[in-house]
Structure 1
Amino acid sequence: MTTEQHVDVVITGAGMVGLALALALAPSGRRICLLEQRPGDVGDWLDALAALPVEQYDSRVSALNPASVQLLQQLGAWATVQADYRACGYRDMRVWDGEAQGRIHFSADALHLDSLGHIVENRIIQAALLHQLAGHDNLQLLTGVSLQTLSAPAADGRRQLTLSDGRCLSADLVVGADGALSRTRQLSGLAATEWDYGHHALVTTIVTEQAHADTCWQRFTEDGPLALLPLAGDGHHSSIVWSTSPAHARELMALNDDDFCRALALASEHCLGQVVATAERQLIPLRQRHAHQYVEAGLALVGDAAHTIHPLAGQGVNLGFMDAAALADVIESAWARGEAIADVRVLRRYQRQRRGANLCMSAAMEGFRRLFAPRPAPIRLLRSCGMNLMDRLEPVKQHLVLQALGLSGERPERLRQPS
């Protein structure tokens, strides 16, 4: 007979957002269990990362805004990123219309900030969060397991889970943090709207002739946006995210390295000179998803399990971290008041905070994507004039960038106080 283990919260997925949520809840002393499909041991994962050559970068990176960095500081992970790993703070962002003359320059100096954000490899963010787990006896990480079944809520909202290794768990709250194809969302029956963006994202690491100058460069091409994101190190390594049509993406993947470097330099209008080297390329189909509801009794969705957006502004992980911070606030407040965290009325406080904000960001990204789609010459001229006008309207430009940096608008309670 299989024994059922009860915990307060089960988080499916020990990626960046799931780990952040677990660590945010750790000081409560409650029993938190994380489920991770990746097999192995945390110590082995961290040792393998430490053994990688310094010039070997992860092709998947995140542009962390100041609000996300503040959360990582509170969780103790940011100090680990800086001391043991690497991050590249960027002070400028230069965006231009590749089909016209429109340009916008965002500067940290104009906002009196040290940086606009940091480009950090995803595996480094995850490793820094994993380092913090050892300091919390109430956090349990189960690796090499996946969610097989999820019960409907009991009368008190509790859920039962069956894992791929046969183990059974019960929890007051199950949080789906298991990515865009969330098994938790599927098993719960929570519906989501999704559509294909008609873009694939080609990602890789490159070496350029000129130094990146701690600047993010983004050109809107006829096929889609191309971003060059600065990486820590010698100043000549950058991560690229080239969103383009599936047919063009396949053509780029078929090129040899030399031809690809030439094509990339041309597409970026040689903003960093010649592209002298490239790492292995990866292709990621892009789809938009948004759950109709983030919560029901005994269940909540965070991060990509609840929403995915186009990567053109690099906001995906930042939205996920804000989800984690907001849900942690709601859970801790409920515990302090003696409320049941499985109660859907409690969980809707989280949904009210985050769903509208995430929908607004999703709509903004969709608007940008459509704005820079192929247009007749008169529309391109108006678009270009609009970009140049916005570049001169500092108050408007600063308002927009402060929202993207997570420094304006409604913020989770824990991020309203200095770290």
Structure 2
Amino acid sequence: MQQVQVCIVGGGCVGLSLALGLAQQDISVLVLDSGDVPQPVAEHYGARVSAISATSQALFEQLGVWSAIVAQRATPYNKMDVRDKDSFGRIAFDSNELDLPQLGHIIENDAIRYALWSSLSQHSMVTLMSNTRYQTLHQTDSDVLLTLESGEPIMAKLLVAADGARSAIRQQFNMPITYWDYDHHALVATVKTQRPHESTARQVFLPDGPLAFLPLPDPHHHSIVWSTAPQHAEQLKNMPESEFNKALSAAIDMQCGVTQVVGERQVFPLTMRYAKQWLNGRTVLIGDAAHTIHPLAGLGMNLGLKDAAYLIQLLASSTDDFANHKILRLYERSRKADAQKHIAMMQGLKVLFEGANPLKKLFRGAGLSMVDKMGPIKNLFAKEAIGGDL
């Protein structure tokens, strides 16, 4: 039987960040992941990328993996350009105006996972298990017992469910969630553009959903996230390449000239999920297992990393009575409040910017233009947009 202080189920970016942070505090950790061992980034860009905020960058620096992430592929962006397709509204952010080196970085999720896993594999306080699933799960007042499919038992003082939006652990313990369908699917792809991106992240609000162009290391390549009605997303995915290129170029108003899709187009459904309960005995939820939000502001990964950072801080301070109920309740209350705020904000933006209602168009056009000219209020918007403290 293996005995550890913390067992983390799920080897995504958030779960691995938590594992590394705990190990560096001399807390023994076992990571159980059903997938393969992460590999270095491939020659072609991965479809799943994240806009990493200054706060998340600081966490990766603290964990000692930031340089390894950047050494693979990471694109700093210095400007953001946000427009409403059907009105005169526009707002722009510039890192120079905010006295920042950059607004954030666009990074492939694969690069983050590989850097974290590589660091964890060298740590004496960590046991990594890939291609491994648990068969049964039980908890007492003081411990959690998992039995792997191989029959091997694992005993831990704390179980962290980092097993994604459809968390099996959350479901097993009947931890209730609130959810709604955004009635959007996200089409993601890599595109090559005629003009360089100039380290600018672009977003256009179309009547049926936002379209984001995120800069990649090659100055003529972007990762796109097109959130739109499910049927439209499927149409876009299955369009002949030439037709898709024309539709995409028109949707972005040719801001980067003619666009050309590179590789496959993938479509993912978008659903808001918010766990009403993040704590059950000695089991806590983290990341997508606790919350998922619309990607229109790119905050999903950063919210999960904030969960990890706070849980590291709390568990590191609970050495005398490790992972006691008071500590876990503090984590639950604090992170639920932050998640609620961002879920509400994303829903409000989605409702405001979708549709062709003339009053909405006038309001959002005037509102964006006004905020763009008002320094203090614009800085507040920038703070939320980049997910950090200015």
Q: If the TM-score is normalised by the length of the shorter chain, which range does it land in?
A: over 0.9
CA RMSD of aligned residues (A): 1.4
Shift in alpha-carbon separation, 1:63–1:164, aligned structure 2, 3 A: same
Is 1:155 the counterpart of 2:141? The answer is yes
* Aligned AA (1:372): F
Query: Among residues 179, 182, 205, which one is paired with 1:197 in the alignment?
Result: 182
Matched, 1:126 2:113: yes
1:382 to 363, 368, 377: 363
Show the counterpart of 1:107. 94
Cα contact 2:121–2:128 (8 A) shared by 1? no
Query: Which residue of 2 is the match for residue 304 of structure 1?
Result: 288
TM-score (structure 2 length as normaliser): 0.97
> Is there any run of 5+ residues in structure 2 with no aligned partner, and where?
none
List aligned pairs for 1:142-181, cutoff 5 A: 142-151=129-138, 153-156=139-142, 158-181=143-166
The answer as to 2:118 corresponding to 1:137 is: no
Residues 312-327 of structure 1 aligned to structure 2 (within 5 Å):
312-327=296-311
2:47 to 45, 59, 81: 59
| Letter aligned with residue 154 of structure 1 | T
Alignment of 1:191-230 (within 5 A): 191-230=176-215
Q: Helix, strand or coil: the match of 1:19?
A: helix
Matched residue SS, 1:63: strand
Q: 2 CA distance for matches of 1:263 and 1:61? A: 22
Q: Which amino acid aligns with 1:63?
A: A
Superposed CA deviations along residues 63-96 of structure 1, whole A, max 9, x for unmatched, are 000000010111111111223x111000000000
Percent same amino acid among aligned pairs? 40
Q: 1:340 to 1:277 in 2, by over 3 A?
A: closer
Query: What pairs with 1:20-419 in structure 2 (closer than 5 Å)?
Result: 20-39=17-36, 42=37, 45-46=38-39, 49=40, 52-53=42-43, 56-83=44-71, 85-151=72-138, 153-156=139-142, 158-233=143-218, 235-335=219-319, 338-341=320-323, 343-408=324-389
CA distance in 2 between partners of 1:195 and 1:276 (Å): 34
Distance 2:222 2:48 in 1: 11
Work out the number of aligned pairs and report it. Answer: 390
Partner Cα distance (2:295, 2:260) in 1: 25
Structure 2 letter corresponding to 1:87? A
Do the aligned residues in 2 keep the contact of 1:6 with 1:171 (CA within 8 Å)?
yes
Structure 2 residue matching 1:329: 3-state secondary structure: helix
Task: Supply the distance in 2 between the matched residues of 1:21 and 1:13 (Cα, whole angstroms).
Answer: 11
How far 1:276 moved relative to its partner?
2.9
Correspondence for 2:2 among 1, 5, 26: 5
Is the 2:189–2:261 Cα contact (8 Å) retained in structure 1? no
The CA deviation at 1:164 is 2.5
Equivalent position amino acid for 2:265 in 1: R
Distance, in Å, in 1 between the alignment partners of 2:268 and 2:141 is: 42
Q: Give the letter for the 2:49 counterpart.
A: V
Q: Measure, in 2, the Cα distance between the counterparts of 1:96 and 1:238.
A: 17
Deviations 1:324-382 (A, max 9, x none): 000011111111xx1231x3222011112211011101110000000012142122112
SS of equivalent residue, structure 2 residue 96 = helix
Deviations 1:270-324 (A, max 9, x none): 1100013432000000000000021122111110000000000000000000000
Structure 1 SS opposite 2:288: helix
Find the aligned partners of 2:223 and 2:55 in 1 and give their Cα distance: 22
**TM-score where L is the length of structure 1:** 0.90
Give, in whole Å, the separation in 2 of the partners of 1:117 and 1:126. 18
CA deviation profile, 1:28-81 (whole Å, cap 9, x unmatched): 323200001014xx4xx43xx36x32xx10010000000000101111111112
* Superimposed CA distance per residue, residues 179-225 of structure 1 (whole angstroms, 9 cap, x where no aligned partner): 10111111122111111110000000000000000001100001100
Q: Is the 8 A contact 1:92 1:108 kept in 2?
A: yes
Structure 1 residue 147 displacement after superposition: 3.0
SS at match of 1:111: coil
Does structure 2 retain, via aligned residues, the 8 Å contact 1:77–1:131? no
Moved more, 185-194 or 354-363: 185-194
Q: 1:14 aligns to what?
A: 11
What is the match of residue 414 of structure 1?
Answer: none
> Take 2:260 and 2:360, find their aligned partners in 1: how far apart are those partners?
36
Kindly state the Cα deviation for residue 150 of structure 1 after the two structures are TM-superposed.
Answer: 1.9
For the residue of structure 2 that corresponds to 1:57, the secondary structure is coil
SS at 2:24 equivalent? helix
Distance 2:25 2:227 in 1: 42
Determine if contact 2:32/2:128 at 8 Å carries over to the other structure: yes
Conservation of the 8 A alpha-carbon contact between 1:295 and 1:344 = no
